[in-house]
Amino acid sequence: MNFWARSFYNWRRMSKALKLYGIIAGPGIIVMVADNDAGGITTYAATGAKFGYSLLWFLILLGPIAYFIQEMTVRLGAVTKRGHAESIFHAFGPFWGWFSLIDLILVDWLTLVTEFIGMTAAMSIFHVPPLVTVLFVILIMGMMVLRGNYWTWEKIALFFCAVNLVYIPCAFIVRPSISSILWSGVIPHIPAGGFTNAFFFFLMANIGTTIAPWMIFFQQSAVVDKGIQEKDLLWGKIDTILGSAFTVIVAAFCIVVTGTLLRGVDIRDAAEAAIQLMSINKYLGTLLAIGLFDAGLLGAICISLASSWAFGEVFGWAHSLNSRIREAQWFYAFYFFALLSAGAVVLIPGAPLVLITLFVQVIAVTLLPASLVFLILMLNNEESMGKYKNNLFQNVASTSIAVVIIALSTMYAISALFPGILR
Amino acid sequence: MGERIFDVFALRAGRLVRGTVSQIAAINKKYMTPHVTTTPAVRVALLLLRLYLLALVGILIYKFITLVR
């Protein structure tokens, strides 16, 4: 084969592979980018303001950890063809099944409220009343699913994922010192002041935003709904790797923005950071507010679906985005009920929104350890996983990750309940 | 008229509750037998998970009581 024939053959092969990836790509990128939800962006903004670039290395470390966990859900979904909730019922029986399902619904609903809090706060910067924001969000999310087509939903979700990259131009606008980022951010170290309670609290908060229980349920259900097979696993893994890279990039750039301009400022939420940045550079504040709204929207899109999928799987309702409303009435009813009720809470004057945000952190901790333990046990079940079960390396890595995450997230929940302990 | 609307509502709500209860019973029956191979590692992991959750619930109850007081 001459040079031109070989080049043409390689190009054809590459373009075919890219087309195939284009078909299979989606769940991994969406779940990982949606992980940078309103709560996530708030945590990153506060981390940058408190510690500058000093915790960038930790976020880079969290990328592979999130990949390890999410990759297992891809394998489990592709091999068993069951969503995560149904898998737990099937593997561990009704007790653990109901525990996980009810806990998931509660955590998801509370998290959905926090997404609405983030979105209304972001839009209030542009003087948009909360009622208009809530109605607009429900309208967008309704339009995304009403076509009865998973593909349409996924492409719109991927568009919102692309908007999440808005933090990258923000970081270029603030012109940070690259050498400072490399020296004080990328090389692992403990920031000046040592291993303080605040440092520990921020480490735990960043873990809590990077690995969330709903992500496990969402990605497995999305893999099943999309119809990913065992033969597509490689592409599913690449999708998850790209997603985890995106999540780290967005988080890192967000930290660079607040770490450069708001270093030493106490930030309570991302909307406050956007307001502060608005006074320094109005474009920067605007982009940050758009990013916060988009983060909340992406989180809401995924979280409301994670709950509906889980309920549909267990109750045996039609639960595919490829079904039209009259074919999957309960699935869509649940989806809209979660959205409307969560949106309504934000509109109640004097609703205990801070308490709800705090409660999410605590309740999520009751579900996360159970989800991780179930995931690892199911991935070791030869009967259902066959040759796709975890190997020794995957078991050592996933068990170590689970132990560390469970320990740290438990301490995070305890510190949220008893603020005096760590802060 | 009002009574009639209430009767229809009560009838439908009763039907929904009965339907949900029977559906839950069917789900419990369907998944009664766990399909995970019960190795010692699985047993230990589930036991530790139970203990962990009990401890967590204990902490939550303690927090609730101290808040109420």
Domains, chain A, in order of start with CATH, read 40-417 (1.20.1740.10)
A413 contacts chain B (CB < 8 A): yes
Residue A349 has pLDDT above 80, yes or no: yes
How far is the first Cα of chain A from the last one, in angstroms, to the nearest whole number? 68
Global ipTM: 0.84
**Inter-chain touch B37–A93, beta carbons under 8 Å:** no
A369–B52 CB contact, under 8 Å: yes
Q: Number of helices (H) and strands (E) in chain A: give both, helices first.
A: 19, 0
Region A243-247: mean pLDDT is 91
- State the Cα–Cα distance between residues A408 and A361, nearest whole angstrom: 12
Listed residue (A47, A61, A39) closest to A201, CA to CA? A47
In Å, how far is B2's CA from the nearest CA of chain A?
27
Residue pLDDT, tens place only, A366-421: 788 888 999 999 999 988 899 999 999 999 999 999 898 888 888 877 877 787 76
* Residues from chain A contacting residue B60 (CB–CB below 8 Å): 362, 417
Q: Is the pLDDT of residue A64 over 70?
A: yes
The pLDDT value recorded for residue A415 is 79
Q: Which one of A176-185, A206-215, A243-252 scores highest in mean pLDDT?
A: A243-252
User: When comparing pLDDT for A423 and A130, which is higher?
Assistant: A130
Local structure of residue A231 (DSSP, 8 states): G
d(CA A125, CA A21) in angstroms, rounded, equals: 39
Asked if B66 is an interface residue toward chain A (Cβ–Cβ < 8 A), one would say no
State whether the Cα torsion A144-A147-A148-A153 is positive or negative: negative
Look at residue A373 in the predicted model and tell me its pLDDT: 92
Helices then strands, each counted (H, E), chain B: 2, 0
| Model confidence, pTM | 0.87
Q: What is the mean pLDDT of residues A157-177?
A: 88
